[in-house]
Structures are given as structure tokens and as C-alpha cells.
């Protein structure tokens, strides 16, 4: 590996001085991407799980590559930006919960009708007789002039939320995203809202329709290991629809009645008449991990203070000795050694392109535990957050061949999508958006943590209209290898499509990096008001 890399750098040096000054995107090559995927997905990296020796080797490899490419550490003298994660696992035998209201206690079957846990980071949490308040969808959305709290003081209470967005139509138009879920509809948002309002806990009402999956998908969350997120609450829970119906009846309505009540603009929080008592014991398991960040300083003395960020998660699922068969290693070649390799190769092109703005490349940790590395990155950013003006994220890019189309999630949300479309068109390609908007994919990878802070972001996706004959059926390949030990680099992978898509992404980001104005969300977007506050814009 060492020899091949040295040779690659020699070639890079020669090209940079000659032909590549004209087209830096030609520095993004199939051989370059393949070499990095091969290194990161090797068995010696042991599946790159947070806190493992394999992960440390991945961090060392990425740091060495960043240095060889010509990036500086984003902060201090190390590319690694360490942070601590807390794994939290409730002790089921030693934890109890009781909810009582008009007519007596609510029947609870743990992990069947109700599941609960704590993210307080405390070994023991006790709540006694805490009132439960129904807060509807619990949404505060200034751009829609929507506020479910109406100034109510809900601190110290347990908040009961509906999942999803308020299904509101005004003047024949969906007020929120319509069938496309907005961030306000995500259950993570509900827990964040509860924490923001100083609540003791949050319970989300599950219905199959509002969640788009059955209760069994979330039903044992409380007995799994949960990682610290952007919310710490003494109590988090999901309740099933049958139990929710009982609560609604005791409030003098029905579950449908609660949904009807909550979709009104004049909704305000309602006491349920129920009180909650719980004792939760949690085993806390701290893990040290690192994001890896390198930066290329911009050429414009003023604009260099603004950074365009590329993110790709390098972590994967590690090793599981309990797996039957000889192979126990989750190599994560596609997920997401391929994305990490892609942004490292985009970095080579940027070094040659000398952009006006600075470009920061961040290989993020702990995505598989719930985009935790990118959350930690924005929370403790190595530079002030308002000096980051865009994020481009790559997670499981094209590996099957060249397509007539290129796709991006967030295509219609910001200037980044507009520029992406322009570049694609110039290359004779069709730019398409999220193939499945109701799945809320925008909210499920690392770019969402930037978006939530106000930073415009775009998440590259593989096109589906293939020019090249396929060795693999992409859907069947995903079905067979996604999150399996068999996600390994194969000689048949076709990196021509990866290269083409990364050149489109590079050219998009280069335009953004050289533009006079920084990118912004389209007017009325859910992240626009946060964007204005972050950058002090109107």
C-alpha cells in the first residue's frame, strides 16, 4: 500500500504542474478512490467501530492522506478532533415505571406497549408524580408562524408528543412539507424540544401511520444501548396507539380527537390528568473517538474566512464475534469507506483549483450510532460555526457504473441544489432529488446536523439511469450486503460512476467556493430563520 501511494503522489505532483492546472477535476480518479477504499475497508481496520484499535488505524490513515494531499489540520497540530461518546443502557430488571390517571393506572407491558430509557447520563434517575402534559406536535416553526407551546411553562413536566408534522393545509397548500417530512416531524426533534423547554421527560405517541413503521421497530429502544445525542432527558419513551387511546379517552376525547386538536393553529398544551413515577438505572459506558478534519486555506484574503465543508462518515459497525462463519468483520467498504475515499480525492482536485473560500474535509466518526460524530463536530466546531457556509455530504456513493442522472437530497432546499443542477446540466446530466421524500432521508445522514445549525447542506445520491451495463443489480446488491460482513471491496465495482459523480460535486462546490455571495436556503425553508440568526442576515 505504501509503495502504491508514493507512486500516486509522484504522478499527482507531475500532473499538478501541467495539464491539471486546466482541469483540476481530472485529479479525481478511479485508481485514487479504489486505493483509499481498499485501505479503509481492509480487515486490519476491523470495521472502524468507535473506540477500537481499528478505528485508531483509520484515523491515522486518513490523517496521513490529508497531510500528503496538502491539507492543514483544521485546529491545532492534529487532524484528529477527539470527543467522548456515552453509551447508555438501561438495566431492565432494576428499572420501573408507573403512569396513573383518572380511572387508575395505565397498563404497561415493557417493550411491547411502552418503551422507556434515560439519556441524563446518570446511573440512577427518579421522577415522582410528575404531571404529563399533551403538547400536540410540539412544533415551534417561526417561518410558518406556528407555535404549539403558546408560552406555556412546561419545565419539569413530562411532555406527550404526536409524531410527524402537523398535517395542515392553508389556501390549498400544505403548510409544512406535505408528504415530504420536515425536520419538525422527526422524533429526534420532539426529544430536542423537550430538552430545550427544560422538561423532565418526553413520550412520543406511536401510530403506524405517523411513523411509517410498526411499533415493533421502536418497541425495544429502551432495552438497547442508546448513545448520547443532542438531548439529555431524565426520561424518553414511546407509547403505542392502544395505550394512547386510553389516555385520550380519560381526557374526554379519542386519539383521533388529539390529532384533530393538534392540527389547529390555536392549539395550546393540555394537562392529561396523568402523572408518572419512574426509577431508571443506567449503565454508562464512555467511549473516546475522533472526527478527522483537514483544511485547504482559501486564496481570497476576505473569503478565506468562510469554509465549505465536505463530510463523509468513516466509521462502521466493527467486529461481531457472535456472527456465524469465518468472517466477523464489518468492512464497510461501500458504507462508507467509499464516501470517505471520495472526499479525500475531491481534496486533491481542490488543492489544484485554489478556491477563493477555504475548504474543510471532515471524515466523521460514529454515524452508525445516530450521526453522533457530525453532531459533536457542529457542537464543538474547531472554528466558529458562522465561518462554515455550506456542507456537502457523501454517504454510500455510486459504485455500480455511470448514469445519465445525478441525484442529491436537499436539491430544492438551497442554492447548493440550484448550483448542482446547473453543473449537472452543463455536463449533459439530469439532476434529480430525493427518490423517497417520505422516508425523511435528508434527516438521516450527517448533513442534517449542519442544516439544524442553519448551514445550507446537500447530500449526494447515486443516480439510477445507467449508461454502462451493470455487473450487479443495485437493489439486490444493497439488500444482500448493506450492513453485512460481506460489504467488501470487489474487483467488479465500477468506479467510473463514482469519479463522474465526484467531479460533478467538486465543480458544484468550486462554484460555491468562488461565488461572491455565500449560499442560502430557499425562502421559506425550515432552516432559513436559523441561517439568518447564524450569519446575522436579513
Binding site for Zn ion (CB under 5 A): 335
Complex with Zn ion: residue 335 or 501, whichever CB lies closer: 335
Q: Give min distance, CB of 30 to Zn ion, in A.
A: 23
Complex with Zn ion: residue 148 or 335, whichever CB lies closer: 335
Complex with Zn ion: residue 335 or 415, whichever CB lies closer: 335
For the record, the C-alpha cell of 164 comes out as 410527524
Q: Cell 415493557, residue?
A: 110
Complex with Zn ion: residue 368 or 528, whichever CB lies closer: 368
For the record, the C-alpha cell of 142 comes out as 417561526
Complex with Zn ion: residue 165 or 335, whichever CB lies closer: 335
Q: Give min distance, CB of 88 to Zn ion, in A.
A: 21
Shortest Cβ contact with Zn ion: which residue? 335
Q: Give min distance, CB of 305 to Zn ion, in A.
A: 34
Q: Give min distance, CB of 265 to Zn ion, in A.
A: 39
Complex with Zn ion: residue 244 or 338, whichever CB lies closer: 338
Among 338, 385, 380, smallest CA distance to 363 is for 338
- Residues 513, 508: Cα–Cα separation, whole Å: 9
Element (DSSP H or E) covering residue 507? helix 495-514
- Residues 252, 246: Cα–Cα separation, whole Å: 10
Complex with Zn ion: residue 34 or 313, whichever CB lies closer: 313
Residues 6+ apart with CB under 8 A from 392: 308, 309, 310, 311, 416, 447, 457, 458, 460, 505, 508, 509
For the record, the C-alpha cell of 120 comes out as 441524563
Collapsing DSSP to helix, strand or coil, 79 comes out as coil
Using an 8 Å Cβ cutoff, are 424 and 504 in contact?
yes
What sign does the CA torsion over 346, 348, 354, 360 have?
positive
Using an 8 Å Cβ cutoff, are 448 and 381 in contact?
no
Q: Running DSSP on this structure, what letter comes out for residue 333? A: I
Using an 8 Å Cβ cutoff, are 319 and 379 in contact?
no
- Residues 398, 417: Cα–Cα separation, whole Å: 18
Q: Give min distance, CB of 261 to Zn ion, in A.
A: 38
Among 391, 400, 359, smallest CA distance to 499 is for 400
Q: Give min distance, CB of 335 to Zn ion, in A.
A: 4
- Report CA-CA distances (Å) from 152 to 89, 126, 162, 268, 271: 33, 24, 17, 8, 11
Q: Give min distance, CB of 445 to Zn ion, in A.
A: 9
Complex with Zn ion: residue 234 or 335, whichever CB lies closer: 335
Q: Give min distance, CB of 48 to Zn ion, in A.
A: 11
Complex with Zn ion: residue 206 or 313, whichever CB lies closer: 313
Q: Give min distance, CB of 395 to Zn ion, in A.
A: 8
Collapsing DSSP to helix, strand or coil, 58 comes out as helix
Amino acid at each position: 500500500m505504501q509503495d502504491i501511494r508514493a507512486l500516486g503522489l509522484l504522478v499527482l505532483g507531475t500532473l499538478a504542474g501541467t495539464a491539471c492546472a486546466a482541469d483540476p477535476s481530472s485529479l479525481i480518479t478511479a485508481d485514487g478512490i479504489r486505493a483509499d477504499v481498499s485501505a479503509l475497508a481492509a480487515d486490519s481496520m476491523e470495521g472502524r467501530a468507535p473506540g477500537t484499535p481499528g478505528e485508531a488505524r483509520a484515523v491515522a490513515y486518513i490523517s496521513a492522506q490529508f497531510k500528503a494531499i496538502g491539507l492543514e489540520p483544521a485546529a491545532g497540530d492534529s487532524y484528529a478532533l477527539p470527543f467522548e461518546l456515552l453509551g447508555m443502557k438501561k438495566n431492565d430488571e432494576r428499572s420501573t415505571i408507573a403512569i396513573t390517571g383518572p380511572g387508575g393506572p395505565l397498563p404497561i407491558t415493557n417493550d411491547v406497549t411502552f418503551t422507556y430509557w434515560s439519556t441524563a447520563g446518570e446511573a440512577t434517575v427518579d421522577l415522582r408524580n410528575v404531571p404529563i402534559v399533551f403538547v400536540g406536535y410540539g412544533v415551534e416553526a417561526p417561518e410558518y408562524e406556528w407555535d404549539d407551546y403558546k408560552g406555556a411553562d412546561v419545565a419539569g413536566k413530562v411532555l406527550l408528543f404526536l409524531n410527524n408534522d402537523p398535517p395542515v393545509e392553508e389556501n390549498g397548500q400544505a403548510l409544512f412539507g406535505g408528504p415530504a417530512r420536515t425536520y419538525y416531524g422527526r422524533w429526534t426533534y420532539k426529544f430536542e424540544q423537550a430538552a430545550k423547554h427544560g422538561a423532565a421527560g418526553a413520550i412520543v405517541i406511536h401510530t403506524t401511520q405517523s411513523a411509517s413503521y410498526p411499533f415493533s421497530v421502536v418497541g425495544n429502544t429502551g432495552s438497547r444501548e442508546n448513545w448520547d445525542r443532542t438531548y439529555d432527558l431524565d426520561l424518553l419513551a414511546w407509547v403505542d396507539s392502544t395505550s394512547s387511546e386510553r389516555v385520550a379517552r380519560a381526557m374526554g376525547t379519542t386519539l383521533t380527537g388529539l390529532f384533530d386538536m393538534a392540527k389547529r393553529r390555536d392549539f395550546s398544551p393540555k394537562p392529561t390528568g396523568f402523572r408518572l413515577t419512574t426509577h431508571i438505572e443506567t449503565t454508562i459506558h464512555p467511549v473516546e473517538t475522533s472526527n478527522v478534519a483537514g483544511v485547504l486555506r482559501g486564496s481570497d484574503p476576505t473569503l478565506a474566512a468562510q469554509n465549505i465543508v465536505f463530510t463523509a462518515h468513516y466509521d462502521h459497525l466493527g467486529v461481531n464475534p457472535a456472527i456465524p462463519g469465518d468472517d466477523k468483520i464489518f468492512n464497510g467498504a461501500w458504507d462508507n469507506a467509499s464516501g470517505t475515499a471520495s472526499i479525500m480525492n475531491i481534496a486533491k482536485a481542490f488543492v489544484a483549483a485554489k478556491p477563493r473560500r477555504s475548504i474543510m474535509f471532515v471524515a466523521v466518526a460514529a454515524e452508525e450510532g445516530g450521526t453522533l460524530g457530525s453532531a459533536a463536530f457542529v457542537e464543538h466546531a474547531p472554528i466558529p460555526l458562522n465561518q462554515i457556509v455550506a456542507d456537502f455530504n457523501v454517504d454510500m456513493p455510486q459504485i455500480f457504473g455511470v448514469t445519465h442522472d445525478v441525484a442529491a437530497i436537499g436539491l430544492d432546499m438551497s442554492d447548493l441544489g440550484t448550483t448542482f443542477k446547473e453543473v449537472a446540466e452543463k455536463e449533459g446530466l439530469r439532476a434529480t432529488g430525493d427518490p423517497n421524500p417520505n422516508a425523511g432521508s435528508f434527516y438521516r445522514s450527517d448533513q442534517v446536523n449542519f442544516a439544524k445549525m442553519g448551514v445550507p447542506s446537500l447530500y449526494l445520491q447515486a443516480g439510477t439511469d445507467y449508461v454502462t451495463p451493470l455487473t450487479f443489480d443495485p437493489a439486490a446488491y444493497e439488500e444482500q450486503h448493506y450492513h453485512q460482513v460481506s460489504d467488501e471491496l470487489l474487483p467488479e465495482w465500477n468506479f467510473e460512476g463514482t469519479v463522474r459523480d465526484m467531479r460533478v460535486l467538486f465543480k458544484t462546490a468550486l462554484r460555491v467556493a468562488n461565488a461572491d455571495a455565500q449560499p442560502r436556503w430557499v425562502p421559506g425553508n425550515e432552516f432559513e430563520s436559523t441561517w439568518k440568526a447564524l450569519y446575522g442576515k436579513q
